[in-house]
Structure 1
């Protein structure tokens, strides 16, 4: 989270691509602790139903308690083969 603090001081934007549940949860935790303003965070999800379908783009965000809103159910669940 030091990087986020530094980016505010230097007035730069960060784009973080991740599949990490830990990073997503830590951002929410920092919003809950009021270290990050929820308005400063955008979450964009790229989903593909199958190789034959186009990729859909969905937006999610955090509420005041650092919980994700519009988050797809089971997103971090292990894939069943």
Structure 2
């Protein structure tokens, strides 16, 4: 089965399923496509999931929007 998603909930659900033994790590393939403005073609980064549901690395730009928003919320409000 192949699935494209931008959902961190789906990613975390897959990680929990591996952690819980419902999926084997070898049955999961996570590919992150990145197309930097300075490059003519997209880069593909393969991310592995270990038996505990952890990712072997977290590329820059990979599901980082919530971190960026949280950083903004932790800053003092503007105009105060």
- Give yes or no for TM over 0.5: yes
Q: Deviations over 1:14-72 (max 9, x none)?
A: 10100110000000000000011111111111101117531011101101100111221
Residue 4 (structure 2) aligned to one of 14, 17, 41:
17
TM-score (norm 1): 0.71
More strand by share: 1
Question: Helix, strand or coil: the match of 1:34?
Answer: coil
Question: Helix, strand or coil: the match of 2:26?
Answer: helix
Aligned to 2:43: 56
User: How many residues are aligned here?
Assistant: 67
TM-score (norm 2): 0.72
Root-mean-square deviation (CA), in Å? 2.1
For structure 1, the residue ranges without an aligned partner over 5 or more in a row are 1-13
- Structure 1 stretches of 4+ with a deviation exceeding 3 A read none
Structure showing greater radius of gyration is: 2
